[in-house]
Structure 1
Amino acid sequence: MTPPKPRPAIASLLLMILAVSLGGYFTFAAVQGDYGVFRQVQLRAEERALIDKRDALRAELAGMKNLTHRLSDSYLDLDLLDEQARDVLGYLRADEIVIR
């Protein structure tokens, strides 16, 4: 008698299940993994937000530099000095009326 031969259908089925499982895993990793498509979109959005914040901070810094220069010893803007004294110290002239 000859021994029974292993079924090639079971081996091919297991191989097919393994191939589909690996394909599914790599597809999931390519879409939602650490370096996947969704993460790339999220990183680009964060980059745009940070660039916008950086530009706003640069504009604010330029404004502060301008005000600092206008109040420096080498260049004194009397109108700005008057405005700052009124705002910070609460100075008023005798002929002014304050409405709150």
Structure 2
Amino acid sequence: MTRSHRPGLGAFMFFSVAFMLGVYFTFAAVQGDYGLFRRVEIAAERDALARDMIQLSDQIAQMENLTRRLSDTYLDLDLLDQQARSVLGMIRADEIVIR
């Protein structure tokens, strides 16, 4: 008697489990917390934060310049005049205010 040899249930279960594990690890490598998509999101966030840092550095440099120009050792009279006009609402005697 010859019996046809067909794969048993054990082989089917082994390949099913192996396939499911492969699918799971592939999904985790692409979509997971440490996957490719998360890496792209982190890179985009890093670029946005770098742009913000450059903008803030420029603002700090501008504020340091204004602070230095109003210090006791270096007094910029034009800047002092501008600050007095904006903060105190002062005008000179030869100016006309139009509202």
How far apart, CA to CA, are the structure 1 residues paired with 2:24 and 2:97?
72
Report the alpha carbon displacement of residue 8 of structure 1 after superposing the two structures with TM.
4.1
How far, CA to CA, are the matches of 1:99 and 1:14 in structure 2?
Answer: 89
Distance 2:64 2:30 in 1: 46
Q: Aligned-pair distance for 1:65?
A: 0.4
Alignment-mate amino acid for residue 64 of structure 1: M
Where 1:12 maps in the other structure, the secondary structure is helix
Tell me the CA shift for residue 32 of structure 1: 0.7
The question of 1:59 aligning with 2:58 is answered yes
Q: Percent identity?
A: 60
Q: For 1:2-58, what per-residue CA distance to the aligned partner results, in whole angstroms no more than 9, with x for missing partners?
A: xxxxx7421111011101100010001000111100000000011011111111111
What residue is the counterpart of 1:98 in the other structure?
97
Corresponding residue for residue 88 of structure 1: 87
Instruction: Look up the match of 1:71.
Output: 70
Which residue of 2 is the match for residue 30 of structure 1?
Answer: 29
Per-residue CA distance 1:39-84 (angstroms, 9 max, x = gap): 0000001101111111111100000000000001110000000001
Q: Distance in 1 between matches of 2:53 and 2:95?
A: 41
Aligned residues between the structures: 94
Unaligned runs of 5+ in 2: 1-5
Indicate how the Cα distance of structure 1 residues 73 and 21 shifts in structure 2: closer, same or farther if over 3 A, else same: same
**RMSD over aligned Cα, in angstroms?**
1.2
Per the alignment, residue 3 of structure 1 pairs with none
Once residues 98 and 24 of structure 1 are traced to their aligned partners in structure 2, the CA distance between those partners, rounded to angstroms, is 75
Question: What is the CA–CA distance in structure 1 between the aligned matches of 2:93 and 2:76, rounded to whole Å?
Answer: 23
